[in-house]
Amino acid sequence: MHIKDLGKIEFDEAYGIQKETVQGRIDKIFVDTLYLAEHEPVVTLGRLAKPNSVLDENALTRNSIRILNTDRGGQATYHGPGQLVLYPIIDMEIFGKDLRRYLTFLERFALRFLLKYNMNGMRKDGNRGVWVNGKKICSIGIGVRRWVSYHGVSINIDMDLKPFSYIKVCGEQHAEVTSVAAETGEPADFRIAKVFAKYSFLECYEDLKYE
Amino acid sequence: MDIKIPVLAEGIEEVIITLWHVKEGQSVSKDSDVVEVATDKATFNIPSPADGVISNILHTEGDTVKVGEKIAEVI
């Protein structure tokens, strides 16, 4: 697996890189690839977003937070500095071409990542993502083309959580959100978070060979 | 040839059509994206099963359709 840190990058630019990589993966020019990224403030609307997914458009404008439509699954989410975003471009043959197995894999990765901080994440029945103490810390939304994945996972590391209140997070009216820093009560180093994320992802990915 | 909703995962029985990439009468090549569907936090692009022309689109964006159901033809 190839892992590349895109650093701080606009959402649209990272999306363009993903689409090119998806085509390269379909054409078997590239191996499975994991991109790590951090975005400038942006609200993205998935394909199943509703007219009321944005609760306070004025607040978004006031804070220079753009709203973008995207082709991922799910509804609305927020990305901003201090949130780690992972974009796995993976040939889903290794998940038996089963979307649910892949989504469950992404949750397993997030749970393993949180364990590095001695945090116990939880899943919720009927709702994708990972929660800590009842608050959402990780959101998931993917796209698939020719059984190659794009879009992915975001995990709140150490960030301003206020912008989440301007939207219905994944369709939930009063979804409480949290971050690694908020739960541990101390600042969380973003570089260390990226190292933890790389290792956690590789561990889960390697595990697939033995399932 | 019929374009049908493929099996996307164990337990997923229906999907929502979110975007038609093509119109009736449009030429398509095998494996090019025809329609995007959504389910369970995922979107999935269904490719054309053959070279040809799209005809007989049976559902519009926003429709819920069952796995295995025919949604269009490529002739």
Give the model's pLDDT for residue A175: 80
Q: How many CB atoms lie within 10 A of CB A187?
A: 11
Residue that has been written with the tokens 């054309």 in this structure:
B48
Q: What residue type is assigned to position A54 of the chain?
A: V
Helix or strand run (H / E) with residue A200: helix A190-207
The residues of A that are catalytic are 170
SS (H, E, C) A65-76: CEEEECCCCCCE
In this model, does residue A31 exceed pLDDT 80?
A: yes
Residues A106-148 pLDDT 10s: 999 999 999 999 999 999 998 999 999 999 999 999 999 999 9
- CA dist., res. A74 & res. B63, Å (int): 16
Question: How many structural domains is chain B composed of?
Answer: 1
- 3-state DSSP assignment of residue B67: coil
What is the extent of the structural domain holding B66? 2-74
Dump pLDDT digits (tens) for A37-88.
Answer: 999 999 999 999 998 999 999 999 999 999 999 999 999 999 999 999 999 9
* A172 vs A91, residue with greater confidence: A91
Average pLDDT over residues B40-65: 97
Query: Tell me: the pLDDT tens digits for A177-188?
Result: 999 999 999 999
Q: What is the pLDDT of residue A40?
A: 97
Residues 4-23 of B with CB under 8 A from A: 8-12, 16, 18-19
**What torsion, rounded to 10 degrees, do the Cα atoms A9, A89, A135, A60 define?**
40
Q: What DSSP element (H or E) covers A23?
A: helix A11-26
Contact of B64 with chain A, judged by CB distance below 8 Å, is answered with no
Q: Evaluate the CA torsion angle A158, A65, A175, B11 in order and state its sign.
A: negative
pLDDT at A20: 98
The answer to whether B48 touches B29, Cβ cutoff 8 Å, is yes
**Residue B70 — pLDDT band, cuts 50, 70, 90?**
very high
Q: Which among A71, A140, A146 is the nearest to B41, CB-wise?
A: A140
What CATH number did the domain enclosing B19 receive? 2.40.50.100
Measured CA to CA in angstroms, residue A142 lies from A16, A57, B43 at distances of 15, 25, 6
- The shortest CB-CB distance from A146 to any of B16, B31, B43 is to B31
Mean pLDDT value across chain B: 97
State the nearest Cα–Cα gap between A154 and chain B, in angstroms.
13
Q: Which chain A residues have a beta carbon less than 8 Å from that of B12?
A: 99-100
pLDDT at A210 over 90: no
Distance CA A148, CA B44 (A): 10
Residue range B40-53: mean pLDDT, rounded: 96
As a whole number of Å, the CA-based R_g of chain B is 11
| pLDDT surpassing 80 at residue A171 | no
